[in-house]
Chains A and B, each alone.
Chain A
Amino acid sequence: MNTPESRHPAELGNGRAPLLEARGLSKNYGATRALDSLDLAIAPGEVYCLLGPNGAGKTTTINLFLGFVAPTSGQAFIAGLDVSAHDRETKQRIAYIPEQVMLYRNLSGLENLEYFAALGGKGALTPGRLTDILVEAGLERSAVDQRVSEYSKGMRQKVGIAIAIAKEADALLLDEPTSGLDPQASNEFSELIERLKNRGVAVLMATHDLFRAKETGTRVGIMRYGRLVTELGTEEIGHADLERIYLKHMHD
């Protein structure tokens, strides 16, 4: 098996030009090296799962792609554009779903979607179309006009997915999106990701969930202490293999 260091990012993935790419991406917080020379390329239609314990650098990677923090060295690219130099343009190409999708409690699910979609440049979508998107994301039609204060976490995650669908983003950044969801909601979430993948969306998902990573991902990368220590195609391995390899790297 090749190590990530031995392969150029362009060689990774399905051979198509990457939508998400990291080149020597590093981030220090004071004396702490949160991310160390990450090279990564995710092509359209790929779901890349970053696995690793807390503090491994998964969220830092996502924050660097979002431009929320500046890299210490290296670059993050979205659709070929350097995130540091093209903040707005790169963000227009992506959607982001955090561990807890936080919405405005005083607004309904539909109003929340309308708001986030409008900010993402999709202000022309009609309420009817937005409702369809919410239903497509798995929300009950009867819930779309309810205030979000009455929503469960699973329902809020579905609004998060709807925001991504409405934005027609090329790439999706997910930070522990299934954490805290019940198995059914988690499964529905994976199906939605699958559909987006099939539409050619590139997905980078940070997760602790080995099972979900194997089920949803096309590739997984295992991180530890800010470094990508190994990278695997999910086709190549079974659930047990993934768990074994993960634990081996955690104990090295």
Chain B
Amino acid sequence: MKHIVRKEFTDVLRDGRFRWCSVLVGALLLVSLGHGWVQARSAQQEHAAAQATARDHWESQGEKNPHSAAHYGIYAFKPRLALSFVDEGVDPYTGTSVWLEAHRQNDFLLRPAQDATAAQRIGALTAAQVLQHLVPLLIILLTFGALAGERERGTLRQLLATGIGRRELALGKALGIAGALALLLVPAALVGAAALVVGSPGPAASPLARGVVLAGVYLAYFTAFLALSLAVSAWARSARTALVILLGVWVVNGLVAPRVAVDLSKWLHPTPSALEFARNVEREMAAGVEGIPRPDRPALTEQLLAEHGVERVEDLPVNEVGVYLQESEEFGNRIFDRNYGALWDTFERQGVVHEALAVVAPLLAVRTLSMGLAGTDVEQHRHFATAAEAYRRDLMRRMNGDLAENSRTGDTYLAGPELWEETPPLEYAAPTLGWVLGNRILSILVLGTWLVGAVLAAAARVRQAEVG
């Protein structure tokens, strides 16, 4: 076996095609890792600086009515996790900052994809794209002739006549090719690990553990591709046929399936356009919806007067305006929960379609897991958006509470800097690795099935491989 591994390794390294392809893929991988790291680090630094400035602005508002301060608002920035330099996921599309203000749950801002030209989108090759698309292509180019080529050249007869078993031969070849690929991937993995240890671009959320799992996901993906390529090479009549079939698999996996997944998921679980969504929220905010009536200020005033046993609002021990504003907030929150909840749930159902379609294209499972581990998937965007919205609601409660408790109806009330300083900044804790993996069980299962299926298919096909 070791002789086959060594020979295959030597053969691959001496093959000029492999040398050039691997230099190209290796260079792209290292450049994309480096570029991603620099970009993630600078984005994180910009976010930190912007967050500090926003806090500074918040604290130095001077004397102001708390409700004005609530309208003044504050920005919150989604932290970029350490591994986001490998896979920027949906961040360029969903945005990474949100303005938290009174009465509104705003959409996220800072969406680079919105401003990018088509050429920029194509040019922005991330390490994840290199790993998901180009490395499998390299595996195909190295493996398609493994058995079909030996059969075509006539060397398979001579090899098998030595007494070596078909499976032993195929395994030796797989390990030899894997060894050559390791020359390309191990340095990239070490550079990635060093980048995490030396200067993590983002806050720690078990980055090394996430990195190890991410490496495992890609290892499983590459192994599945290698086994699948071997199976096709063992089955195909000629190396040319094997190459055509495998390129077809690559196109379906990398180009067709992702497109189909997007269209199918939108068709099965349609989402409203941004305009429709905003109009719907506006309409419900204006009129209320069934079960969620709009606050009735005269009725609220009557209720407060009755509760406190007074005749006039000026005699109330609380500022009726503050109570009403908080009531309005609570009303708005229910509308937002209803609409944003439905939207997020639709996104998640769309995500399930992507995960399920991974049965025909393992890339979809790998992409989902990769974004999840990098902290750049829709679920972690939702996780942050939920935390930011909870923070906004708490902020509004504090502002309205201060107005209601510390002033009386009709007063001109101004709160001081103490109130702004007392308001804690947003402390966001990114989800744990367990949470991420728990959300991605379907993808893990499908990728595992691909891996086991491809290995079994390779074992079966190799056993039946014709000598030629």
Contacts and interface: CB of A to CB of B under 8 A. Distances in A.
Contacts of B164: 119
Interface string A60-89: 000100101000000000000000000111
Is chain B's interface secondary structure helix, strand, loop, or mixed overall?
A: helix
A104 B145 CA distance: 13
B123 to A, nearest CB: 36
Given A96-B157, A104-B155, A107-B7, A119 B163 contact: yes
Contacts of B154: 98, 100, 102
A151 interface: no
A160 B157 CA distance: 12
Interface string B227-255: 00000000000000000000000000000
Interface string A87-127: 11101101110101111101100010001101111010000
Contacts of A163: 158
Contacts of A102: 153-155, 158
Interface in B132-158: 153-155, 157-158
B120 interface: no
A68 B154 CA distance: 13
Contacts of A87: 163, 165
Interface string B150-187: 00011101111111110000000000000000000000
A119 B14 CA distance: 21
Contacts of B159: 116, 119
A66 B161 CA distance: 6
B53 interface: no
A101 B160 contact: no
B353 interface: no
Contact of A116 (B153, B162, B165): B162
Interface in A120-136: 120-121, 123
A106 B10 CA distance: 9
Contacts of A63: 467
B420 to A, nearest CB: 73
B11 A91 contact: no
B11 A120 contact: no
Given A66-B157, A104-B155, A121-B163, 10 more contacts: A68-B467, A95-B161, A104-B7, A107-B10, A107-B14, A111-B7, A111-B10, A119-B3, A119-B4, A119-B164
Interface of A: 63, 66, 68, 87-89, 91-92, 94-96, 98, 100-104, 106-107, 111, 115-116, 118-121, 123, 160, 163, 167, 173
